[in-house]
Chain A
Amino acid sequence: MIETLLAGLDELLLVAFGIGALAGALLMIVLREPMRVATALISTMVFLGGIYGLLGVHFIAAFQVLIYVGAVMVFMVYVIMMLDPRDPAIQSRFSRLLVPAVIGFVILVFVLVGAAWQGAPEAPAAPRETFGLQQFAAAFVREYWLHFMVATVLMEAAIVAAVAVVKLHRRGRG
């Protein structure tokens, strides 16, 4: 009994994490307060990190939690604290495009899911080995070093742009 449960535990956890991620995403649409929306997004990201861990790509799970939850969302929470999120100008939660957007959403989901089902590649006969951090690092250094450099330059440019936006604004005001 316990052995059977343990054998199916991976699948059970995968489905549970998937439902949790989906519920968090839906809550983001429904909730009004930005802080609650941020909490729902954080929970979705943590559930996705759990899914990555179950798939065996632990380093991506670690990056997910460290970079997304640890950096991006903390930054977002700081901004929510700095601004007044209970803006009285926001009378309605949703824009006038709610009904057409929901119809478009349903059509988009059906089309994408149908395309994914029809064009899904055949699963390999024998399950291939999951790549670990070693293979990932080797591929990065040997094959994708240029992409890594370009991403580094992009990061640098983003920092300079963020500082420039604030400096230009101050100069324009002063």
Chain B
Amino acid sequence: MDRVQLLIGLSIALFSIGLLGVIVRRNLLVMLMCMELMLNGVNLSLVTFAHQMGEAVGAVLVFLIFVVATAEIAVAIPIVLLLVERKHSLDIGAYNDLKG
């Protein structure tokens, strides 16, 4: 197993664990953190491929993902705060009425 395979395996593992966390955890904040973990897994694969190909395009995309992740958190945190203020709970089960 070479270095690239190791890192791609790690990025797949991080993405999958993040997805598992979003599905199985009940705490809103923990679910948000698991989404960040998924983004980190994607970033690792982009950096690995950019390193392998010797081109800067992957690094540029990683930088843009940093911006998107920051924007996502900046919007998600106020929404979580307002939801918690309304329901007084971080449990995802308390938000069943948000179903369409």
For the complex, is A98 an interface residue (Cβ under 8 Å from B)?
A: yes
Give min CB distance, A14 to chain B, whole Å: 7
For the complex, is B98 an interface residue (Cβ under 8 Å from A)?
A: no
In the complex, the chain A residue whose C-beta lies closest to that of B89 is A89
Partner of A55, one of B21, B48, B78, B81: B48
Interface residues of B in 19-43 (CB under 8 A from A): 19-21, 23-27, 29-30, 32-34, 36-37, 40, 43
Which residues on the A side are within 8 Å of B19 (C-beta)? Answer: 105, 108
Does B27 lie within 8 Å of A87, measured CB to CB? yes
Interface residues of A in 53-86 (CB under 8 A from B): 55-57, 59-60, 63-64, 67-68, 71-72, 75-76, 79-80, 82-83, 85
For the complex, is A169 an interface residue (Cβ under 8 Å from B)?
A: yes
Give the interface SS of chain B, mostly helix, strand, loop or mixed.
helix
Does B51 lie within 8 Å of A57, measured CB to CB? yes
Q: How many residues of A contact B (CB 8 A)?
A: 83
Give min CB distance, B46 to chain A, whole Å: 9
Q: Could you tell me the distance between the alpha carbons of A72 and B34 in the complex, rounded to whole angstroms?
A: 13
Does A28 lie within 8 Å of B29, measured CB to CB? no
Give the interface SS of chain A, mostly helix, strand, loop or mixed.
helix
Does A45 lie within 8 Å of B48, measured CB to CB? no
Which residues on the A side are within 8 Å of B78 (C-beta)? Answer: 162, 165-166
Which residues on the A side are within 8 Å of B16 (C-beta)? Answer: 105, 108-109, 112
Q: What is the number of contacts between chain A and chain B, taking CB atoms within 8 Å? A: 222
In the complex, the chain A residue whose C-beta lies closest to that of B88 is A89
Does A55 lie within 8 Å of B13, measured CB to CB? no
Which residues on the A side are within 8 Å of B25 (C-beta)? Answer: 29, 93-95
Q: Could you tell me the distance between the alpha carbons of A165 and B4 in the complex, rounded to whole angstroms?
A: 43
Partner of A18, one of B7, B64, B66, B71: B7
Give min CB distance, A18 to chain B, whole Å: 5
Which residues on the A side are within 8 Å of B81 (C-beta)? Answer: 79, 82-83
Q: Could you tell me the distance between the alpha carbons of A45 and B2 in the complex, rounded to whole angstroms?
A: 23
Which residues on the B side are within 8 Å of A12 (C-beta)? Answer: none
A–B Cβ pairs within 8 angstroms, 10 of them: A14-B6, A55-B7, A55-B48, A75-B74, A89-B94, A97-B24, A101-B24, A112-B16, A155-B71, A162-B78
Other 17 A-B pairs with CB < 8 A, given A14-B6, A55-B48, A112-B16: A18-B6, A37-B33, A44-B14, A44-B37, A64-B43, A68-B66, A79-B80, A79-B81, A83-B81, A83-B84, A104-B23, A112-B15, A124-B54, A152-B67, A158-B72, A159-B74, A161-B74
